[in-house]
Amino acid sequence: MPVITAVLGDITTQDVDAVVNAANNAMRGGGGVDGAIHRAGGPAILRDCIERFPHGLATGDAGWTIGGELPARWVIHTVGPNYSAGQRDRGLLVSCYRRSLEVADELGARSVAFPLISAGIYGWPREDAVAAAVETLSLVRSSVEVVRIVAFSRDMHGDVSAALGA
């Protein structure tokens, strides 16, 4: 079971083996966390996305690319459900965290930084987004030793810390 901590900061600066990207189905960059990771990591990440995911990625699934210029060696891309667009199956959100840990295991990653998937522009209610993250990351068997849930705002960091009992 990994040690899970809440971190206030920028996911693109995390010194971990892999960062998780809340991507869109097209896998060609976007806004929010996705845009930040692509900007900070440089064009190599997009080139790898195009090569590895020529037809994109399904909601709830995950795959990896190189980390480009990020401190992390890899980026694990996962496509969260768009609550605002009517994708409200919590199982898809849970699958994002589970599949991301499975990909991390395949890569041999020991430390992974996660954003709160679908909690930004995709509109998943924050309380449930935090619960889904903490519950899933706590229950999935994985070789990952360290999990950071990285929050960009103090409010979100407080919510994650509270859910972790910190």
Angle at alpha carbon of residue 132, lines to 131 and 137, rounded to 5°: 105
Active site residue 34: yes
- How many residues in total does the chain contain? 166
Residue 31: helix, strand or coil by DSSP?
coil
Which residue matches tokens 């709830």? 60
96 Cβ contact partners less than 8 Å away, ≥ 6 residues apart: 60, 62, 78, 79, 80, 117, 118
Residue 79 forms beta bridges with which residues? 23
- Rounded-to-10 torsion of CA 121, 72, 96, 150: -50
84 DSSP 8-state letter:
G
Which residue matches tokens 């889904």? 132
Q: Which of 10, 15, 34, 105 is catalytic?
A: 34
- Looking at the annotation, which residues are catalytic? 34
